Structure 1
Amino acid sequence: MLDEPNALDDPWVVPGAAVVVGGGGPVDRVALAAIGPVFPDAVVYAADSGAETATQLGLAVDVVVGDLDSISPGALAAAEAAGTRIDHHPAAKDATDLALAVDAAIHDGAVEILVLAGAGGRLDHLLAGALTLADFRWAHVMIRAVIGSSRVYVVHGPGTALVSGLTGELVSLVPVGGPAVGVTTSGLRYPLADATLDPGTTRGVSNVLDHPAGRAAVTLRAGALLVVLPGELDSHPTDPDPDPEGPSR
């Protein structure tokens, strides 16, 4: 784990920002601090029991979304008493509560979203929660996330993700929904230049932030990528002749 994060120069959240909080266990506060401050005017959406996670993080929930099967009766009663908007969905639905909460935020006008969720619980929920961040319907929205102790940046092509962390921190590039085409990086130990990453490839796993200031850029011409910083430093000695095909260690 990282002992302390690098602060971003400026808050990434702007007017039209939202925070979506899911369940699945605690959110690492070091990772949350590293991805940037939560703007005080952001609208906070809780996906079902995410309302309790939000309270633990000191966030006042504006909207609770979901089928309300996992939020405690006490937390739901407190939200209702506070005048919180409740978007109640049936249990038989075609999307997870987290996806519904992101949808609600975008419907309400959010153009930048910070998703906060735990990394525990069911594996299928964890995978679906991470992959849904790259939904092509949301390509016009800037989405970042803290899932457990990991930070996730979503990039749709054509676009660029600017990453900030500690020099020596691990970074993985995970293609979603099809080939990620024209992947070009700067600030990483194993650079990619106009590369294609196909779904299922591990070529982008375990790269390293190599810039002295702990910054990197990942540019994509087409497709979608999750840029994942798991919150760990590289434990391998520096290879004097890095493999140009990528890390995948």
Structure 2
Amino acid sequence: MKILIVGSGSLFDESLLIRYHQWADVVIAADGGQMHLKKAGLCSDVLLGDFDSIGKAELAEIKDNSNSELITFPKDKDYTDLELAINLAIERGASEIVILGASGTRLDHTTANIHLLYKLSENNIKGYIEDEHNRIYLVKNSITIKKQKDYKISILPLFPFADGVCTKGLSYKLSDAKLSFGTGQGISNEFCDKTATISVKEGLLLVFVSRD
């Protein structure tokens, strides 16, 4: 099952939202993510959160006029709305998850949301975070990515190090390399083939496909 999760972070490209809305079998809005959908004239299948990002009038309108399944959580809770949405997607049998509206001006939230990709990895679910300039993957074995014009690839270790890192189809090749946390060794690599393959033997990699 393909699930789209829409968070309340920045989401300026409406066409991106429309494309993934058409792709998804189920759409989950995490709190203010519902407003991104509404602006684009789209609906969610599930709306969840503590609704601190949606006004009372807006929430009342949603309850009266929407067919979305509504799941309410208390404001004082141990998990962010986006994490609750990911947990629900996993519980409902997602095989692939795309997350929009997960980045923005709050770097603490953005960083925490990137870390949530670990939940997908641990449950063997394909997925990534995407915005207008980036697609972010968490890789524990290997991944093959199609070349995109004007995009670069950055590879960063999560946790102290990633060992046995190999790349194919990138200009700056890595062969059985060890990437340590706290260095920028894997930043801004470039495609030199139609696809790039990145693999790691030990540890986890964050892979960013990014453009200016």
TM-score, normalised to structure 2, is: 0.86
Aligned partners of 1:117 and 1:147 also within 8 Å: yes
Alignment match, 1:127: 111
**The 10-residue stretch of structure 1 (73-82 or 47-56) with the greater mean CA deviation from structure 2:** 73-82
Aligned partners of 1:52 and 1:75 also within 8 Å: no
Aligned partners of 1:27 and 1:117 also within 8 Å: no
Alignment match, 1:61: 44
| Count of matched residue pairs | 210
Alignment match, 1:155: 139
CA spacing shift, 1:29–1:225, aligned 2, 3 Å = farther
CA offsets, 1:108-154, max 9 Å, x none? 11011001115323221111112221247634111112134211122
Identity of aligned residues (%): 33
Q: How far apart in 1 are the matches of 2:186 and 2:123?
A: 21
Q: Give the structure with the larger helix fraction.
A: 2
CA-CA distance at 1:183 after TM superposition: 1.5
CA offsets, 1:62-116, max 9 Å, x none? 1112211112334433432312112211122222111111111011110110011
Q: How far apart in 2 are the matches of 1:39 and 1:176?
A: 32
Question: Which one-letter code corresponds to 1:175 in the other structure?
Answer: P
Question: Which one-letter code corresponds to 1:166 in the other structure?
Answer: Q
Alignment match, 1:186: 168
Q: How far apart in 1 are the matches of 2:54 and 2:209?
A: 29
Question: Which one-letter code corresponds to 1:151 in the other structure?
Answer: R
Q: Give the structure with the larger strand fraction.
A: 2
Alignment match, 1:25: 10
CA offsets, 1:19-45, max 9 Å, x none? 011112224467x49xx8555452111
Q: How far apart in 2 are the matches of 1:125 and 1:167?
A: 29
Alignment match, 2:83: 99
CA-CA distance at 1:227 after TM superposition: 1.0
Task: State the Cα RMSD in Å.
Answer: 2.4
**The 10-residue stretch of structure 1 (93-102 or 131-140) with the greater mean CA deviation from structure 2:** 131-140
CA spacing shift, 1:132–1:41, aligned 2, 3 Å = closer
SS in 2 for 1:179: strand
SS in 2 for 1:226: strand
Aligned partners of 2:4 and 2:20 also within 8 Å: no
Q: How far apart in 1 are the matches of 2:30 and 2:14?
A: 19
Alignment match, 1:70: 53
Structure 1, unaligned stretches of length 5 or more?
1-15, 233-249
From 164, 178, 203, give the equivalent of 1:223. 203
Question: Which one-letter code corresponds to 1:162 in the other structure?
Answer: T
Aligned partners of 1:27 and 1:118 also within 8 Å: no
**The 10-residue stretch of structure 1 (74-83 or 198-207) with the greater mean CA deviation from structure 2:** 74-83
